[in-house]
Each structure stands twice: as structure tokens, then as C-alpha cells.
Structure 1
Amino acid sequence: MASSSRNSIIAGAGCGLVASIATCPLDVIKTKLQAQRAIHRQDGYLGIAATVKSILKHDGIRGMYRGLGPTILGYLPTWAIYFAVYDGIKNHFGAKSIEDAPAQRIYPAPQTKGYQPVAREHPWTLHILSAMTAGATSTLCTNPLWVIKTRFMTQSRSEVRYKHTLDAAITIFRTEGGRAFFRGLLPSLLGILHVAVQFPLYERLKLMARQRVGSQDLPSSHILLCSSIAKMTASVATYPHEVVRTRLQTMRISREVFENGGTSRPSTGIIRTTKDIIHNEGWRGLYRGLSVNLTRTVPNSAITMLTYELLMKYLNKRTDTY
């Protein structure tokens, strides 16, 4: 394995670990809000404050970290796979025609070493291709862990609680079958549009910041600002897919229902689920938990990208010394 790919995997896993622990409480609140099917201002609906009070009252501070195990197990491979594929595609296609590339045609690389030339008329298509391919790869590999995480965070107190991640996986498989682990996969793949917005914008903002400060090595404050703006923009633009995904992932359908078929089987389609949300809760139902999500994802992304950049800088320096 090339040292750059190895460094990307290590840095990606490290930033995922730090970010998942730091923002888990906000993830729990957001997921519970997304999973609610009660209509605003009606009995059964809990706002942000009521959700927090309910968690603390019944589960204590530990309840704010429910699902942390599968979250960590999900984030570690997700970011490791994501950054390895993202950097790999950019390095492969970006370096393919270096000799033929005009000197002025460059794109900002994620590594702290600066820029790499690339022979392309529209260099930002490379960022979009890298982001979408990396997002699809990591999503396909880790979707079962995100289903388990969502189930952990949204279990009602009347249900038999999962003991741990393995117990949750066995229980879900025994009662609902293997297909339950890929419920919500389609809206997750549609969420690739999120990274297609976030990462090219992040790279563009970094380029502008480098031009402004006149240095290739950006201070931490600039990295935090660039990642925060990029994440906020992408989150607002693509948020509805998260609500639809959560609704599908929390849907309990026994394996007997699928095996026997029948007209009583609930719909698990993305279009039907979206229509049901709009019909029963209005358009604002597609943005349930958005404020909490922004409060969670913006610092999460800032922590993730800053940790990644610092780890890559450190690992590249160590690689260069050998």
C-alpha cells in the first residue's frame, strides 16, 4: 500500500473517531427528532428541549451517548474508506497527465503539500467525481452499521433494549432478515449529492483562503471556517434525504411479512415515504431536526477536517523523513 493511501486511511479513521465522540449527544437528539411521526403541536410531538429533558429524565447522561458504539464502528471505516478513495482517485487521475498539463492549470490537493497539476478543462469535475465515488463506496460498505446506530438511538423505552452492537445485529437479523441492514440505502446513496456539494466547495474555499493569506499552510482557524461553511451549505441543500433515510431505517418489518408477501406489507419506497411525510406533516416534516443537525454536523465537520489535515501533515512529514 502506498504511503499516501495509508496516511489517508489512518488520518480518516482518526478524525472520524474524534468527531463521533464529540458530537454523539447532538446526533442522538437529531435522530430522535427525525424519527418522530407525530405532527407539530399535537400530542406525542417533542421539540428539542422536550427531547433532551426526556432523555435525561429516563436514561440520564448515558442516554445522550446511546448508539456511540455502532457510531464509532461506523465512522472509523466510513472516513477511512472515504478519504482513501477520495485521495486515491484525485492522485491517480490528477497525476496521469502531469507532463501535458499547462502550468497554470492546477487543483488544490487535500494534502498539506499544496497543489498538483491536472490536465482538465474543468478541474472541479475531478473533485465531484472523487467525492461521489468515495461517498458511494463508504455508504455501501457501512450501511448496516448506520441502521444499527439509528435503531439504538430511536428505541422506545417499552421495547427490549439492545445490549450491545452485536446483540442488535443478531436481533435485527433474526426478526427482520438480512435486507433490514440495507433499509434506507437508496436515500443514503442520494445523500452522495451532499458530499458532491461539500468537498468541491471546501477545496474552493481553501484555495481562496490560501490566496488571501499568501501561504500554502493554512492556520487552523481558516480550515475550521472553510469546512464549516461548506458543511452548512451542503446540509441545508440536501437535508430531506436524511429524514427519509431515518424513517426507513427505523421501520420494523418482520421477515415473515417479506417471505409471505401480502397486501398489508408497508411500503419501504423512498417516493412513498416522502409523500407520506409531506401529506401528514407538511414540507417542514422533511426538515425536522435541521437546527440540531446543523449544530451537530458543522462542528463535527470542522473537527473532522481539521483533525484530518493535521494528521495528514504530521504523517506526511514522518513519511518524508524515512
Structure 2
Amino acid sequence: MGTAAVNWWKEFAQSHENLKHSIAGAGAGIVSSIVTCPLDVAKTRLQNQSIAKPGEKLYKGTVGTLSRIWQEEGIRGLYRGLGPTILGYLPTWAIYFTAYDYCKSHWADELETVGHDKEWLLHISSAMSAGAASTMLTNPLWVIKTRLMTQNERTPYRYKNTLHAFFTIAKEEGFRGFYKGLGPSLIGISHVAVQFPLYEKLKVAFHVDRDVASGSTSILLASALSKMAASLATYPHEVIRTRLQNQTRKPYKYEGILHAIEVMSREEGIRGFYKGLSTNLVRTVPSSAMTILTYEMVVKKLDDWKNL
């Protein structure tokens, strides 16, 4: 880089620390969303199906679901919802990582009053605050993504693309249509409250150092283990959210979170709350590991440029 460019970057980076985390988070989210989109489609289809209606064929397992989508819809079927997924990840991870690092830095002084042995409180509060911010701001994109991923010849809705879905939902369901499933999503903040504090602990345990290239393996392991633990602990909220987001015409089968829990328990039992779990783990664990590793690497590169 030229001297002028280096000097400009130093001044810019020093005064825009949060932007660094936005860029890193958004870039990481895009990479992972493209790679894992087919698994995301399969997981969403499995989550959305309840008990079989007469003549209806249910999706079965990760491989079976992927195979059926390929046979019935081709490659486009496996990448349904990629547009809003990318559009969603851009602000979601950018907002999340920016808010997370801001909260950690802003509240770090509070450790002096609560004691360093309470550092886990800082990580949990930062993770939950960041999760709430990103969830509330991006929920409309996730509703559109879920609808596109689950639509087929049997669904009551048929959207041509992200923009068509946006205007159709706005016209037929109004503003509230974009915030279906927000309740379970906010409950799902407990996911990041488990994942990121555990990730921070594992980074320390694995002696992760951003300046050491060999730290990539440790970052991958720490992020994979923390994501798996969080997914197992909080997965039911994802199934409930998917069911609520896909309701377009009244009378709704599920009238809310508690009613959904009641109906699903009666019709499907405990297994209903864990539909698509194996697909989700196959998708999210490597995806999360890739996302966090990309994030850490981008942050390191931006720091290197700032220190030139």
C-alpha cells in the first residue's frame, strides 16, 4: 500500500473501530451463508412440517430431504432464500459483532466493581444485547427467507423473489407480517448467551492468539464446540419460530408461542421440537466455525493494516 493510503487507513481505522467489526462480521456471514444454503433449506423444510395430511409426503432426514429437493426442484430449490439470507447476514452479523464488541468495551469498566471473577457476566450481557439488537432490526428479512425456503407447489404462497415477497407480505399481512416469529427469536437470544461466553472461555483454554497463524485450528474448535452446545440447549425455539413465520392465512394453526407448544406437544410429542436438529448441527456448527474464523482473520488483517 502507498504511504498516503496507509496514513489514511490509520486515521480512518483509529476513529472507526466499530466499523472494523461491522466489515468483518458482514463478510464472515456472507461466506458461511453461501456455503451452507442447501442445508439451511433442508433444515427449514424439516422444521416446518408437522403431521402428514392425507396424500402428503413428508421430508425424511438430511440426505433424503436434499435428494428430494434436487429431484423435484433442481439446483434452484437448494438455493431458495439465498437472496434474503445474504441480505439478512450483511446487517445481522455486522450489527451483532459491532454491538457485541461495543458492549464488551463499554461495560468493561464495570468489572472493577463486580470483580474480575464475574467476567462471564460481561460476555453474557454483551451477547444478549447484541442479539436483541440484530434480531429486532432484521426480523423482516428472516420471515422472507423462511417463506422462500419452504415454498413449493403445496404452499399457499408463491413469491417470485425477495422484492416480490416483501411487497406481497406488506399488502396482504401488513407490518405485523414482517414480525411473525419475533417472540421465539428473542427467546433464542439465550442461544448467543450460551455460545459466545463459552467461546470466549474456550479461546482462553485453547490459548488462542490472533497473531499466531496456528491459532486458526483452535478458533475453529472453540467456535464449533460452543455452537454445538448452544444449539442443543436452545433448538426448540427455532422450530416454533419457523412454524409461526410460515402462517399466512387465518385461522392460524398456532396462535402464539404457548399455543404452538401446546399443539406441537399434543400432535408430535417432544420429537416435534427437535425436527431438523441433525441437519441444523451439520449446517450451523461448520458454518459458525467458518464465520467466526473469517471474522477473526478479517479483524486481524484490518489491525495489521492499521499498524503499518
TM-score by length of 1: 0.85
Alignment of 1:94-113 (within 5 A): 94=108, 96=109
Alignment of 1:49-88 (within 5 A): 49-88=63-102
Equivalence for 1:169 = 166
Equivalence for 2:123 = 127
Pair 1:312 & 2:299 matched: yes
Q: Deviations over 1:224-272 (max 9, x none)?
A: 0110000000000000000000000001136xxxxxxxxx565431010
Alignment of 1:183-262 (within 5 A): 183-210=180-207, 217=212, 219-253=215-249
SS in structure 2 at match of 1:123? helix
Contact kept in structure 2, 1:33 and 1:46, CA below 8 Å:
yes
* Letter of the 2:233 counterpart: A
How much does 1:3 deviate?
Answer: 2.8
Q: Distance in 1 between matches of 2:67 and 2:82?
A: 19
Equivalence for 1:7 = 20
Equivalence for 1:259 = none
Unaligned segments of structure 1, at least 5 residues: 102-117, 255-263
Equivalence for 2:175 = 178
Return closer, same or farther for 1:266/1:38 CA change in 2, 3 Å cut-off. Answer: closer
Which stretch has the larger CA shift, 265-274 or 137-146?
A: 265-274
Q: Distance in 2 between matches of 1:265 and 1:250?
A: 10
How many residue pairs match? The answer is 291
How much does 1:93 deviate?
Answer: 1.7
Unaligned segments of structure 2, at least 5 residues: 1-11
Q: Deviations over 1:140-178 (max 9, x none)?
A: 000000000000001122456322111100011111111
Contact kept in structure 1, 2:38 and 2:66, CA below 8 Å:
no
Q: Distance in 2 between matches of 1:151 and 1:293?
A: 18
How much does 1:215 deviate?
Answer: 8.8
Return closer, same or farther for 1:265/1:214 CA change in 2, 3 Å cut-off. Answer: closer
How much does 1:8 deviate?
Answer: 0.3
SS in structure 2 at match of 1:60? helix
Q: Deviations over 1:52-83 (max 9, x none)?
A: 23211121112111100000000110000000
* Letter of the 1:130 counterpart: S
- Taking only aligned residues, the RMSD between alpha carbons, in angstroms, comes to 2.2
* Letter of the 1:29 counterpart: A
Q: Deviations over 1:181-230 (max 9, x none)?
A: 100000000000000000000000000011xx899745211110110000
Return closer, same or farther for 1:63/1:43 CA change in 2, 3 Å cut-off. Answer: closer
Contact kept in structure 1, 2:240 and 2:261, CA below 8 Å:
yes
Equivalence for 1:277 = 264
Equivalence for 1:16 = 29
Contact kept in structure 1, 2:124 and 2:196, CA below 8 Å:
yes
Return closer, same or farther for 1:283/1:192 CA change in 2, 3 Å cut-off. Answer: same
How much does 1:119 deviate?
Answer: 5.2
Percent identity for Structure 1 against Structure 2: 53
Return closer, same or farther for 1:158/1:287 CA change in 2, 3 Å cut-off. Answer: closer
SS in structure 2 at match of 1:53? helix
Return closer, same or farther for 1:134/1:97 CA change in 2, 3 Å cut-off. Answer: closer
TM-score by length of 2: 0.89
Equivalence for 1:105 = none
SS in structure 1 at match of 2:57? coil
Equivalence for 1:107 = none
Return closer, same or farther for 1:43/1:62 CA change in 2, 3 Å cut-off. Answer: closer
Q: Distance in 2 between matches of 1:214 and 1:313?
A: 10
SS in structure 1 at match of 2:107? helix
Contact kept in structure 1, 2:188 and 2:237, CA below 8 Å:
yes
How much does 1:121 deviate?
Answer: 4.3
Q: Distance in 1 between matches of 2:40 and 2:56?
A: 24
